Structure 1
């Protein structure tokens, strides 16, 4: 079978193009060739975290993988049968555990399989959703489409050492469901703030500043928690989120601490990201918006959801999904901060 050829430099040109293509190749049982991987980025080619994602899915699906090495500008991936069982991988340093799981979870579940996987790396790192965002926002949104998974954080991992450990249990989804997420009910926000190898007041200050920012936006929050968790190196993260049992909203704003960044800034940043969706009446936040593409592009029927902002990540992911599956989509702008995404699954 001829591979589907995907240009990895299209659109936003990031590693998500590769991850989406690999996940869908596993689900569809179709070979794929991705070229121009991260061609316009400062460090072009395959990075260790991307390599880990491809390796995991390749191992799980008995794939024949060509040119899988750091710096590779192209990769060819031809899946076979799902191996199953349990799986462990160490990404190395602070490679993103959430981004690795977001490649594995849909690939495994949407192919009708289950898996227990343990991943070592970074749980809360820059340019990646935090592990709590996956646990509390993505998990609920995916559940509405029929994908069920749970994540247990055994140890936090921050830049630069990483060393975090997360265990995920993924359940099979034989028939992904189309979703209608246009009119979610009002759901009060929650806040979870984490710090490791730092005084607990850092996590508490993050919460205080997030609460203040929410209040200025006209949103009250009475459900919040500060936790001190083990890690190999110091670090913090915070998540402000609303997630309903069904029908939306599924909205979150997270932020990760770093050297020289005050706790107050971390909390305010997460709250601002959350408010971007909530004040616009969105049912799906802009970050989740592109993550929903993968399950919905293979769901039977037409899905619709309301989001506050159209990102280049979303547009690129939609384009890759169409190339891989033949799905159809459209984006309608209702107002400056209101957009409706429609996906007709293949």
Structure 2
């Protein structure tokens, strides 16, 4: 990334501070919350994002052990795969602790149980072993409510792949926290994840009805998903040049403008290939806006410098779609995250998809640039 491009990003962030306007969302917020997200998009469609939220204390999202059923049908295969992917994405601040302890984990498991007429055993808050025996995935209307600020983004992660291979269209009402730490922010899901996953042939609409923040939650997102016959492979190996930078700030509840200025910013970068890079951060008590903005900008720049096409947060979210796609998918990334390594391991165990990770050796690569290649299993929807 050129010095001029970095200067452009910094100037746009500075200008955003100067011109920022309060976007109080009284009708779309529950509790008091605030945050920053920065997004960058390239001409090839690569999308990068970074984010952070402020709240009192931190919540752990630990995971322990998974007991899977002994047999796998076509529907069962990708269903159980994403439950595993979902669970391993719910990591803890203390890596040595692995327990399924949080309400969003339980809500997610109950959601997919209902979507497939399955049987769920041992699923309670604090449990360390879960057994899920799935049936056929059906469409229809389903509701999942964490009754806390538990992440609706994680509920979406576990339910979307299942809904894609359902017997008919699905409408999922997901309730909880839309902007929470240690989980995808809804802004990231809408601005980064959605346009990229649509390259696989995924068709879904996501309607943000109400934002929800720690500690009350109360957010609501309605997800409408059309089933697919199969997923197409993707090829995201060209970065492109930065063509556009934009930003957004938001605030929850009735925080006064002077406090708002100390807490929230949202900046995005689009590249000529369609890739999108994002950085974000949420304000914390006693932290000035410039510090919060710097955190978001550094997150964005870190993911741009490795010359990949996806950021560290999108890597693992795409693995399941690569595994299920009909053909060979490739994506250019920065350093391979532990989440991505876990997702690849589970995908290979459950689907027989084959992944290869290699250093990018072209002129634009560096020591932190990798190519993840996957020969997908070509899962098909028997109902279509």
Which bin holds the TM-score, normalised by the shorter protein?
0.7 to 0.9
**What per-residue deviation string (whole Å, max 9, x for no partner) do you get for residues 290-325 of structure 1?**
101011101011111111221111111100111110
Q: TM-score, normalised by structure 1?
A: 0.77
Matching residue of 1:199: 256
Deviations 1:272-299 (A, max 9, x none): 2222222333211111011010111010
How far off its partner does 1:184 sit? 3.4
Is 1:252–1:274's contact at 8 Å kept on the other side of the alignment?
yes
SS in 2 for 1:93: coil
Cα RMSD, aligned residues only = 3.1
Higher relative CO (Cα under 8 Å, sequence separation at least 6) belongs to 2
Q: What's the TM-score once normalised by structure 2's chain length?
A: 0.70
Aligned to 1:83: 138
Cα offsets for 1:249-275 (capped at 9, x unmatched): 143223233334433333222222222
2:260, 2:371 → 1: CA distance?
Answer: 36
User: Could you tell me how far 1:341 is from its partner in structure 2?
Assistant: 0.9
**Distance 1:243-1:147 versus aligned 2 partners, 3 A rule:** farther
Once residues 240 and 17 of structure 1 are traced to their aligned partners in structure 2, the CA distance between those partners, rounded to angstroms, is 38
In structure 1, the partner of 2:301 is 275
Q: Does 1:309 align with 2:335?
A: yes
Higher mean C-alpha deviation, range 164-173 or range 306-315: 164-173
Matches of 1:17 and 1:42, distance apart in 2: 11
160, 163, 168: which one pairs with 1:105?
160
* Alignment partners' CA distance in 1, 2:63 and 2:271: 30
Q: Structure 2: state its 5+ residue gaps.
A: 1-60, 361-365, 378-384
Equivalent residue number for residue 12 of structure 2 = none
- Cross-structure match for 2:75: 28
Q: Does the CA-based 8 Å contact 2:262-2:288 persist in structure 1?
A: no
* Equivalent residue, structure 2, for 1:345: 376
Of 287, 290, 304, 2:316 maps to 290
Task: Kindly indicate whether the alpha-carbon contact (under 8 Å) linking 2:205 and 2:223 is maintained by their aligned counterparts in 1.
Answer: yes
Gaps of 5+ in 1: 1-12, 207-235
Aligned length: 299
**Following the alignment from structure 1 to structure 2, what is the Cα–Cα distance between the partners of residues 47 and 287?**
21
CA distance in 1, matches of 2:115, 2:150: 20
Determine the C-alpha separation between the residues in 2 that align with 1:108 and 1:270: 33
